Amino acid sequence: MSLSQSINVGIVGLGWPGERHAEALNASALGTLYAACDLNAVRLKAFAGSFGPKRLFTSFDEMLLDPDLNAVVIGLPNALHYPCSLRALQAGKHVLCEKPPTMNAEQMRTLHGEARNRSLIYYFGRQMRFSPAMQAAKRVIAERRLGEIYFAETMWIRSRGTPAGVDGWFTDRSKSGGGAMIDLGVHAIDAAWYLMGTPQPRAVSAQTYQKFPQLVESKVFDVEDNAYGMIRFENSATLLFKVCWAANLTDDVPPDPKRGRSLLSTTVYGPKGSLKVTDVFNINSSICPSPLALFEDKVGDLVKTDLAVQDLRGVRLRAFEFAEQDTNFLRCIRGEESAVNSSSQAVQLMEILDAIYRSSQAGKEVPVI
Ligand X SMILES: NC(=O)c1ccc[n+]([C@@H]2O[C@H](COP(=O)([O-])OP(=O)(O)OC[C@H]3O[C@@H](n4cnc5c(N)ncnc54)[C@H](O)[C@@H]3O)[C@@H](O)[C@H]2O)c1
CB of 321 to ligand X, least distance (A): 9
Provide the minimum distance between the beta carbon of 14 and ligand X in the complex, in angstroms, as a whole number: 5
The residue (of 38 and 256) whose beta carbon lies closer to ligand X is 38
Residue placing its CB nearer to ligand X in the complex, 101 or 201: 101
Give whichever of 165 and 260 is closer to ligand X, judged by the CB atom: 165
d(CA 211, CA 231) in angstroms, rounded, equals: 23
Closest approach of Cβ 309 to ligand X, in Å?
19
Closest listed residue to residue 219, CA positions, set 164, 286, 139: 164
Q: How far apart are the C-alpha atoms of 341 and 349, rounded to whole Å? A: 11
Min separation Cβ 326 and ligand X, Å: 11
- In this structure, are residues 120 and 95 in contact, taking their beta carbons and an 8 Å threshold? yes
Considering beta carbons, is residue 75 or 229 the nearer one to ligand X?
75
**Residues found near ligand X in the complex (CB under 6 A):** 12-17, 37-40, 43, 60, 75-78, 80, 98-99, 125, 127, 165-166, 169, 183
Q: For residues 322 and 324, what is the distance between their CA atoms, to the nearest angstrom?
A: 5
Shortest distance (Å) from residue 308 CB to ligand X:
25
DSSP for 138-206, written as a single string: HHHHHTTSS-S--EEEEEEEESB-----GGGGGG-HHHHSSSHIIIIIHHHHHHHHHHTT-PPEEEEEE
The Cα–Cα gap between 71 and 118 comes to: 14
- Cβ-contact 267, 152 below 8 angstroms: yes
CA distances 326 to 21, 137, 281, 364, Å, are 7, 21, 22, 39
Q: Name which of 10 and 273 has its Cβ closer to ligand X.
A: 10
Cα–Cα distance, 15 to 164 (Å, whole number): 12
Find the shortest distance in angstroms from Cβ 91 to ligand X.
15
Residue placing its CB nearer to ligand X in the complex, 76 or 332: 76
Min dist CB 75 to ligand X, Å, is 5
> In angstroms, what CA-CA distances link 43 with 22, 48, 62, 84, 218?
14, 8, 18, 20, 20
What minimum distance in Å lies between the beta carbon of 152 and ligand X?
Answer: 21
Which residue minimizes CB distance to ligand X? 15
Q: How far is the CB of 166 from ligand X (least distance, A)?
A: 4
First to last CA, the chain: 37
Residue 76 or 346: which CB sits closer to ligand X?
76
**Distance (Å, rounded) from C-alpha 314 to C-alpha 319?**
11
Q: Which is nearer to ligand X, 78 or 342 (CB)?
A: 78
Nearer to ligand X, 17 or 254 (CB): 17
Total number of residues shown for the chain: 369
| Angle, helix 186-195 to helix 343-362, in steps of 10 degrees | 120
Residues 6 or more apart in contact with residue 102 via CB below 8 angstroms? 81, 82, 85, 108, 111, 177, 346, 350
